[in-house]
Amino acid sequence: MALVGGGTIPKPGEISLAHNGVLFLDELPEFKRTVLEVLRQPLEDRTITISRAKFTVDYPANMMLIASMNPCPCGYYNHPDKDCLCAPGMVQKYLSRISGPLLDRIDIHIEVTPVSFDKISEERLSEKSEDIRKRVEAAREIQSARFADEEGIHSNAMMSSRLLRKYCRPNAEGMKLLKVAMEKVGLSARAYDRILKVSRTIADLAGSENIETDHLSEAIQYRSLDRDGWGG
């Protein structure tokens, strides 16, 4: 498989070739489910194992996975102006090509809705890319200092459960918000960890030492595929 790698003498695939970089998968549900499930190990362990009859090879796979997909085969599910043309049950079947355990391992899910002409054509000042870059660089410096004594840990995404308990401790109000989100949406323990990591990064981007309630609220909003209404 091109993603995994292989051969008589196992060679690295796209997952390993994207080590310390970005792996972009377009039209994610169009990949075979068996191929997508292979992503679970590298997303969790940041390595990928290729087994052969006589030996096993581990390749590094510390990559950032970015994927895109349509909401359904016709592309109009949840569209504000156009009706979905898919038959009953087809949307759920389409979305179910991506398993829950794989979605749990993806930190951020964002639904991108169509932009109206008025929004596209309006003249308004937006934040400059240069300013955004400065904020990102400042956040990375914060993380580098935070994990200076942790071998092999360089960013919030790489935090273990121990480090999560140390650096991602919401206040009482934040814990109450998380509890409501967990119970209402039915989030898994892995999704809970992802929310904490993302909220820690949001706080770093804001220059905040503590994870505030609004940071948690924003991170929870980035779990759109966990919400009701997707393929219902």
- Reported as a single tens digit per residue, the pLDDT across 74-126 is 999 888 888 999 998 898 889 888 988 898 899 999 988 888 777 777 777 78
Q: Is 70 exceeded by the pLDDT of residue 6?
A: yes
Residue that is written with structure tokens 């972009």 in the block: 24
Q: What is the mean pLDDT of residues 133-140?
A: 96
- Reported as a single tens digit per residue, the pLDDT across 44-84 is 999 998 887 777 888 999 999 999 999 899 999 888 888 99
Residue 109 φ then ψ, to 5°: -120, 125
Q: What value, to the nearest 5°, has the Cα angle with vertex 167 and ends 165 and 168?
A: 70
Q: What is the pLDDT of residue 155?
A: 93
- Reported as a single tens digit per residue, the pLDDT across 88-99 is 889 888 988 898
Q: What is the pLDDT of residue 232?
A: 43
Helix crossing, 189-205 with 213-221: angle to 10°?
120
Q: What is the pLDDT of residue 1?
A: 55
Question: Residue 170: CB partners within 8 Å, gap ≥ 6?
Answer: 177, 178, 196, 199, 211, 213, 216
Mean pLDDT of the chain: 88
Q: Is 90 exceeded by the pLDDT of residue 142?
A: yes
Q: How many other β-carbons are positioned within 10 Å of the β-carbon of residue 95?
A: 18
Helix crossing, 172-185 with 189-205: angle to 10°?
140
Amino acid identity, residue 204? D
Amino acid identity, residue 13? G
